[in-house]
Amino acid sequence: MMFAAAAPAQAASVLSTLNVDITLTSLCQVSTPANLSFAYTSFQATAATASTPFNVTCVSGLPYTVGVSGANVTDDAVGLAYSLAVAAPIGGGTGTGLSQNYAIDGTIAAGQAGTCTSATCTNALATNNIKIVTIAY
């Protein structure tokens, strides 16, 4: 009887390549600022100021701008004109992936009378006292 010799097993490698594709949707987040609260006495000799901080976090390298709606307005409940501005860094920046500090600064100019039918009034019934912080990127 004759046996045929078994052929040795052969090992082989087959190579293929693939790309890993990632689509990143850039995003910014903003914390909610606390209410901006002024104390003002009719005809006071100096301006009243107030400030409220907030934070912006954007993807690293992403340029963005920061704004606030109704930056110059006369409150329709107490009749006082005020201005709002975004403070430091003014206008926006570039994302770092970390929280960046901002503030909304407000000013009521001196010498205004206002509108009030009692000893003290608030603008709780104002229709133009809600503002929007906008982060554009």
Q: Strand 92-94: give its sheet, edge to edge.
A: 92-94, 63-68, 133-136
Question: In Å, how far are 50, 68, 72, 90, 105 from 87, measured between CA atoms?
Answer: 12, 11, 15, 5, 6
Torsion, Cα of 86, 90, 93, 95 (10° steps)? -40
Amino acid at residue number 128: N
What are 75-129's pLDDT values in tens digits?
A: 999 999 999 999 877 778 999 999 999 999 999 999 999 999 999 999 999 999 9
What is d(CA 132, CA 69) in angstroms, rounded to the nearest whole number?
Answer: 5
Q: Are 115 and 78 in contact (CB under 8 A)?
A: yes
Q: What is the pTM of this model?
A: 0.80
Q: Please report the pLDDT score of residue 103 as a whole number.
A: 95
pLDDT tens profile 43-53: 999 999 999 99
For residue range 70-84, what is the model confidence (pLDDT) as tens digits? 999 999 999 999 999
Looking at residue 5, what is its pLDDT?
64
